[in-house]
């Protein structure tokens, strides 16, 4: 938790030193996440088999960092605890995807 709080403080400091908070409304943060996710997808585009698992780790780190940074800033903006909301989602998904029905299949919950 200390590392997470440190990262959030660093993100906010970085943003505030550049006076970028004015641009970080919910819509723009959500759009930034989507755009960065598309850039992550681009790393895997047209790759097959082993190529997918052997992608450039530096590019992967860059794009994941961008996505996570914007997601953390959006959560912080709305006073959401990232760990709590992930835990809540895991609990919801456990109900949607019970082990006895979902184990070993990629089917959506309404197809099980």
pTM of the model: 0.90
State pLDDT tens for residues 65-84. 999 999 999 999 999 999 99
- Cβ–Cβ < 8 Å for 69, 11: yes
State pLDDT tens for residues 43-60. 999 999 999 999 999 999
CA 89 to chain centre: 13
pLDDT at residue 87 tops 80: yes
Query: For the chain, which residues make up each domain, given as ranges?
Result: 2-79
Torsion of CA 106, 72, 20, 28, to 10 degrees: 30
Residue 23 confidence class, pLDDT cut points 50, 70, 90: very high
Q: What pLDDT does residue 103 have?
A: 92
Query: Could you confirm whether domain 2-79 is CATH 1.10.287.1080?
Result: yes
pLDDT at residue 95 tops 90: yes
């Amino acid at each position: 938790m200390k590392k997470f709080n440190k990262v959030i403080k660093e993100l906010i400091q970085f943003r505030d030193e550049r006076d970028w908070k004015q641009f970080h409304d919910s819509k723009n943060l959500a759009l930034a996440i989507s755009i960065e996710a598309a850039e992550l997808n681009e790393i895997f585009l047209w790759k097959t088999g082993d190529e997918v698992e052997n992608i450039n780790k530096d590019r992967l780190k860059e794009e994941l960092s961008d996505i996570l940074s914007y997601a953390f800033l959006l959560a912080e903006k709305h006073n959401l605890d990232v760990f709590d909301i992930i835990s809540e989602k895991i609990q919801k998904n456990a109900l949607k995807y019970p082990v006895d029905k979902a184990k070993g299949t990629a089917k959506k919950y309404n197809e099980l």
